[in-house]
Amino acid sequence: MKRKREGKEGMDNIVWQTPANPPHPNDYVFRNGIRYVRPYYFEFIAHVKNRWAGKTIVDLFAEEFKGRPYEYYVSAVKCGRIQVDGEMVPVSYIVKSSQKISHFLHRHEPPVMACEVPVLQKDIDVLTVCKPASVPVHPCGQYRKNTVVGILQAEHGLTPLFPVHRLDRLVSGLLILARNAAKADIFRQQIEAGLVHKQYIAKVGGEFPEDEVIVDANIDYNAREGRSTAEVRGSAKGKAASTKFTRISTNGTQSIVLCEPITGRTHQIRVHLQYSGHPIANDMLYISEQTVDRSVKGLSADRSARISDVSLTSNFNEKVLNECEENSNGDFGIDPMCTNCPNLAPKGYDSDEEGLWLHCIRYSGPGWTYECPYPDWAKLG
239, β-bridge pairs: 219
Written in H, E and C, the secondary structure of 12-67 is: CCEEEECCCCCCCHHHEEEECCEEEECCEEEEEEEECCCCCCCCEHHHHHHHHCCC
3-state secondary structure of 109: coil
Question: Of the candidates 318, 280, 317, which has an alpha carbon nearest to the alpha carbon of residue 299?
Answer: 280
Backbone φ and ψ of 256, nearest 5°: -100, 125
Question: Of the candidates 152, 199, 133, which has an alpha carbon nearest to the alpha carbon of residue 355?
Answer: 133
What's at 80, amino acid-wise? G
What are the percentages of helix, strand and coil residues in the chain, rounded to 5?
A: 20, 30, 50
| Cβ contact 223:233 at 8 Å | no
In angstroms, the CA 133 to CA 114 distance is 10
In angstroms, the CA 323 to CA 321 distance is 5
Catalytic annotation present for 168? yes
Name the catalytic one among 168, 220, 283, 335. 168
Burial class (CB in 10 A: 0-12, 13-18, 19+), 226: buried
Give the residue numbers marked as catalytic: 168
